[in-house]
Amino acid sequence: MLSDSPWRTADFRNLFAATTLSQLGTNVTYVAVPLFAVAALDAGPGQVGVLATLSTLAFLLIGLPAGAWVDRMRHRRVLIGADLARAVLFASVPLAWWADTLTLGQLYAVVLLNGCATVFFDVTSQSTLPRLVGHGALVRANTAMVSLQAMGNVAGRSAGGALVQLLSAPVAVFCAAAAHLASALQLTFIRREETPPGHRAGHAGLRAQIAEGLRHVFGNPELRALALTAALTNLGMQIVNTMLPILFVRELGLPAGALGLFWAAGGLGLLLGARCARAVAGRLGHGRTLGLAGVCLAPAGLLVPLIGHGPWLWIAGAGWVLALFKTGMDNVLGVSLRQGMTADDLLGRMNATFRFVLSGSLAVGAAVSGLIGELAGVRPTLWVGGALLATAFLPVYLSPVRTRRELPTRQQTPTSESRHRGGSARPAV
């Protein structure tokens, strides 16, 4: 059995380093691309909404089959290919701008194709992690990865805002492309290259494999509740995030760096929540921690729409930090729960189903945000997003998750073969 510390595993350290670089690139473009569209291409609320929608639409288009494909493929190759694709795509943006040929159409295409690559990277990364570290180190490994995501939000989005403000959006996007290229190079040092379980579990059709993943998630009340709460959280956050560049730059007249710092403050909350999750869960239990975090922290989302000049910026920022603190705890404990409740040969499809629902919510949220922004304005849009953030915890709070104390043991989770012989699809608790 692998050590309870994931850091003793060289392949985990390589995956972590590569994901660090990838997260840096992703968060820089998160700030730089919409600001690029607003400042350089004069995009309005509807166009910014389309841009944000296309950035996550791939999870709706290919999210489910991607999980089945990942279960059949070698994970390291998928990760490297996804990073190389993102590097090429983002490098094309500053090159086109310097050649004076950049259009909104090209930005739309880049973010859509980048989303396709991100589908494969995210699903594969979460699916390969349990195999690299083992059950005993799973919560610590997920804490490290969610903390990394949070630090990426802080460092990457701060860097993105600073690069746009000091050097220009094209330079920021070019730096993001270089980060993805460096990530691909780091991934080549991962040595564990096993045959995916999907190759050993038979050759069921793609549609049947996708259906099995859907049944596993939505047929289990705990997994279903985790998916619904995370989806509502993403929906609310995306509605808010889509309007923030317009609010900061046009309505409040604040510099790009201020937007980067606001998003970075949320990343700090995400980081603190991730770091506290394991300790709090050790005292209260995994499920009770998820429930109490929702009751105590989710209502802070209603402070975000109050954003304005002076003290209102700080009040809204505090609400944003608290909302992201809850999300950080949810991410560590929720991801660990769903990994622990899933057999190896279903990990890709389970993760793809979650990513389909969660990132599909981002696509829907961006579209809804752009539509409400065009029809009613920025402020009403922020209130819709804040209300969703404040109530997103309810599916988990009203489900059996709230009473779960420990993670299920992955060794007790049935494999595809046992399910085909009539075994229960639910894990031993």
Is 173 in contact with 32 (CB distance < 8 Å)? yes
Inside any domain, residue 414: no
Inside any domain, residue 411: no
Q: Where are the alpha helices (DSSP H) in 247-341?
A: 256-284, 286-297, 311-340
Report the C-alpha gap between 414 and 424 in whole angstroms.
Answer: 7
Inside any domain, residue 426: no
Note the pLDDT of residue 429.
27
What does the DSSP 8-state code read for residue 407? P
For the segment 229-279, what is each residue's pLDDT rounded down to a tens digit?
Answer: 989 999 998 899 888 888 887 777 777 677 777 877 887 888 888 888 888
Inside any domain, residue 428: no
Phi, psi of 415 (to 5 degrees): -85, 175
Is 345 in contact with 202 (CB distance < 8 Å)? no
Q: How long a stretch of residues is the chain? A: 429
Note the pLDDT of residue 427.
27
Amino acid occupying residue 150 = A
- Which pLDDT band holds residue 87 (cuts at 50, 70, 90)? very high
Report the C-alpha gap between 30 and 25 in whole angstroms.
Answer: 9
> Which tokens belong to 375?
């029809």
For the segment 288-315, what is each residue's pLDDT rounded down to a tens digit?
Answer: 888 888 888 888 889 988 887 878 888 9
Note the pLDDT of residue 156.
64
The residue with greater pLDDT, 149 or 207, is 207
Note the pLDDT of residue 81.
92
Looking at residues 46-51, what average pLDDT do you find? Answer: 78
Lowest mean pLDDT among 101-110, 363-372, 415-424: 415-424
Note the pLDDT of residue 152.
65
Percent of the chain with pLDDT over 70: 85
Note the pLDDT of residue 135.
62
Lowest mean pLDDT among 88-102, 117-131, 407-421: 407-421
Per the structure, the complete domain to which residue 225 belongs is given by 8-189+204-405
Q: Which of these, 38, 56, 39, lies nearest to 366 by C-alpha position?
A: 56
Report the C-alpha gap between 302 and 104 in whole angstroms.
Answer: 33
- Which pLDDT band holds residue 428 (cuts at 50, 70, 90)? very low
Inside any domain, residue 198: no
Note the pLDDT of residue 311.
87
**What DSSP assignment string belongs to 170-216?**
HHHHHHHHHHHHHHHHHHTT----PPPHHHHS----HHHHHHHHHHH
Helix (H, G, I), strand (E, B) or coil at 231: helix
Note the pLDDT of residue 408.
65
Inside any domain, residue 194: no
* CATH value at residue 370: 1.20.1250.20
Q: Which of these, 248, 39, 15, 7, lies nearest to 137 by C-alpha position?
A: 7
pTM: predicted TM-score of the whole model, two decimal places: 0.66
Inside any domain, residue 106: yes
Inside any domain, residue 422: no
Tally of structural domains, the chain: 1
